[in-house]
Structure 1
Amino acid sequence: ALNHGYLHLNPEVSKRYFVKEENATKGYEEEFSAVKTKGTFRIFVQGESSAVGFPYLFNGSFHRMLKYRLEREFPEIHFEIINLGLTAVSSYTLADFGREIIRQKPDAILIYAGHNEYVGALGVGSTSRLGNKPFMVRVGIQIRRLRLTQLFLGLVHKLEKENAGQYSETLMQRMARKQGIPYGSKKYQQGIDQFNYNMSRLLSQYQRNHIPVFMADLISNEKDMKPFMSIAANPANQKKFDDLIRQGETHMTNGCPDSAAKIASAIVEEDSLYAAAYYLLGNVYYSKGKSDSAALMFRKALDHDQLRFRAPSALNEHIYELAQQYGAVVVPFHQTASKFCRQGIIGSEIVTEHVHPNLKGYSMLADLFHNALVNSKLLPDQHESFPDEAFYSEMPLLRMDTLIGLFNIIRLKKGWPFYQDESAIPEGQNNDLQQRMALGVVTGTTNWTNAMDTLYRDAVRRQNHDLALRIAESLHLQFPYDPRFAEKAGGHALSLGNYKKAGFYFAKAFEILPSPELAQQAFVSFLKDDMPEKALPYISYLMRESTGSNSYIAMRSMVENIIQLKAEYRMSPDNNEICMGIAGEYFRMGNFFIADKYLRQILSRNSSYTLAREMQKKIAELQH
Structure 2
Amino acid sequence: MFEAHLKKNVNKNLKVNEKKPELKTPKVENKRKPPKWFYAVPFLLPVIVIILLEFTLRTFNYGRNIETWIPYHPELPGKLVLNIEVASKYFLTTKGIPSSIFDPFDAVKKPGTFRVFVLGESSAAGFPYEPTGSYSRYIRDRLQLVYPKQNIEVVNVSMAAINSIVIKDMLPEILKQDPDLILLYVGHNEYYGVFGAASQSLFAGNKTMLSAMLYLNEFKTVQLLRNMFNTVSFWFKGKGKDNGATLMARMASNNLVPYKSKLYQAGLTQFEGELSDIIQMIKEKNVPLIMGTLTSNLKDQPPFISINEKESESADNYYKLAQESLKNGNAVKAKKLFIKAKELDALRFRAPEEMNDIIKKLAGRNQIPLVDFESAFNNESENDIVGNNLMVDHLHPTLHGYQIFGKLFFEAMEKNNFQPSAEKINISDEEQHALVVKNFPFSRLDSTIANYRLLSLKGDFPFNKDGKSKTLLDFVKLTDYNDSLAYKVVEQNYYWELAHKKLATYYLGQKNYTGFMNEYSALIGQFPYTIGLYEKVVQVLLESQKYSEAYSYLEKYYRLQPDAFCTKWLGTINLFNNNDDLALRYLKESFSFNPGDAQLLWNLSGVFVKKKDYANALLFVNKCLEVERNFPGAAQMKMQLEQAK
Q: Match of 1:2, SS?
A: strand
For residue 463 of structure 1, report the CA deviation from its aligned partner: 2.4
- Mark the CA change 1:5 to 1:281 in structure 2 (over 3 Å): closer, same or farther: same
- Distance in structure 1 (CA, Å) of the matches to 2:578 and 2:144: 20
- Distance in structure 1 (CA, Å) of the matches to 2:185 and 2:481: 34
Are the counterparts in 1 of residues 575 and 607 from structure 2 also a CA contact under 8 Å? no
1:372-411 counterparts in 2 under 5 A?
Answer: 372-377=412-417, 378-379=419-420, 380=422, 382-383=424-425, 385=427, 386-411=431-456
Are the counterparts in 2 of residues 126 and 176 from structure 1 also a CA contact under 8 Å? yes
For residue 229 of structure 1, report the CA deviation from its aligned partner: 1.6
Are the counterparts in 1 of residues 188 and 351 from structure 2 also a CA contact under 8 Å? yes
Cross-structure match for 1:212: 288
Cross-structure match for 2:11: none
- Cα RMSD for the two superposed structures: 3.2
Do structure 1's residue 230 and structure 2's residue 270 form an aligned pair? no
Cross-structure match for 1:417: 462
1:295-334 counterparts in 2 under 5 A?
Answer: 295-334=335-374
Are the counterparts in 2 of residues 473 and 486 from structure 1 also a CA contact under 8 Å? no
Cross-structure match for 1:515: 563
Are the counterparts in 2 of residues 48 and 88 from structure 1 also a CA contact under 8 Å? yes
- Distance in structure 2 (CA, Å) of the matches to 1:373 and 1:523: 38
Q: Match of 1:60, SS?
A: coil
Do structure 1's residue 2 and structure 2's residue 71 form an aligned pair? yes
Do structure 1's residue 457 and structure 2's residue 497 form an aligned pair? no
Are the counterparts in 2 of residues 90 and 116 from structure 1 also a CA contact under 8 Å? yes
Are the counterparts in 1 of residues 529 and 560 from structure 2 also a CA contact under 8 Å? yes
Cross-structure match for 1:448: 496
1:408 maps to a residue whose letter is R
CA-to-aligned-CA distance 1:36-55 (integer Å, 9 cap, x gap): 11232222111111112112
Q: Match of 1:5, SS?
A: strand
Cross-structure match for 1:157: 230
Pairing partner for 1:342 from 366, 372, 382: 382
- Distance in structure 1 (CA, Å) of the matches to 2:391 and 2:297: 6
Cross-structure match for 1:607: none
Are the counterparts in 1 of residues 196 and 205 from structure 2 also a CA contact under 8 Å? no
2:523 maps to a residue whose letter is L
2:274 maps to a residue whose letter is N
1:191-202 counterparts in 2 under 5 A?
Answer: 191-202=267-278
- Distance in structure 2 (CA, Å) of the matches to 1:531 and 1:162: 73
1:213 maps to a residue whose letter is L
Runs of at least 5 residues in structure 1 that lack an aligned partner in the other structure: 242-266, 269-273, 560-624
CA-to-aligned-CA distance 1:290-344 (integer Å, 9 cap, x gap): 2221111111111121111111122122222222333432222222211222211
2:330 maps to a residue whose letter is K
Are the counterparts in 2 of residues 494 and 525 from structure 1 also a CA contact under 8 Å? no
- Mark the CA change 1:558 to 1:6 in structure 2 (over 3 Å): closer, same or farther: farther
- Distance in structure 1 (CA, Å) of the matches to 2:548 and 2:112: 22
Are the counterparts in 2 of residues 469 and 492 from structure 1 also a CA contact under 8 Å? no
1:81-96 counterparts in 2 under 5 A?
Answer: 81-96=154-169
Are the counterparts in 2 of residues 18 and 24 from structure 1 also a CA contact under 8 Å? yes
Are the counterparts in 1 of residues 145 and 432 from structure 2 also a CA contact under 8 Å? no
- Distance in structure 2 (CA, Å) of the matches to 1:553 and 1:229: 77
Q: Match of 1:221, SS?
A: coil
- Mark the CA change 1:208 to 1:475 in structure 2 (over 3 Å): closer, same or farther: same
For residue 433 of structure 1, report the CA deviation from its aligned partner: 1.6
- Distance in structure 2 (CA, Å) of the matches to 1:489 and 1:466: 11
Cross-structure match for 1:281: 321
Q: Match of 1:446, SS?
A: coil
> How many residues of Structure 1 are paired with residues of Structure 2 in the alignment?
524
Are the counterparts in 1 of residues 197 and 205 from structure 2 also a CA contact under 8 Å? yes
- Mark the CA change 1:116 to 1:526 in structure 2 (over 3 Å): closer, same or farther: farther
For residue 165 of structure 1, report the CA deviation from its aligned partner: 3.0
1:54-203 counterparts in 2 under 5 A?
Answer: 54-166=127-239, 167-203=243-279
- Distance in structure 2 (CA, Å) of the matches to 1:520 and 1:444: 42
For residue 492 of structure 1, report the CA deviation from its aligned partner: 5.4
- Mark the CA change 1:430 to 1:419 in structure 2 (over 3 Å): closer, same or farther: closer
1:383 maps to a residue whose letter is I
Q: Match of 1:42, SS?
A: strand
- Distance in structure 2 (CA, Å) of the matches to 1:533 and 1:308: 64
For residue 145 of structure 1, report the CA deviation from its aligned partner: 1.9
CA-to-aligned-CA distance 1:98-156 (integer Å, 9 cap, x gap): 11011111121122211100011010000124142323322221121222212221222
Are the counterparts in 1 of residues 146 and 432 from structure 2 also a CA contact under 8 Å? no
Sequence identity percentage? 29
Runs of at least 5 residues in structure 2 that lack an aligned partner in the other structure: 1-69, 612-645
Cross-structure match for 2:21: none
The structure where helix makes up a greater share of residues is 1
- Distance in structure 2 (CA, Å) of the matches to 1:16 and 1:534: 53
CA-to-aligned-CA distance 1:43-80 (integer Å, 9 cap, x gap): 21111111121122111222223323332332222222
Are the counterparts in 2 of residues 503 and 526 from structure 1 also a CA contact under 8 Å? no
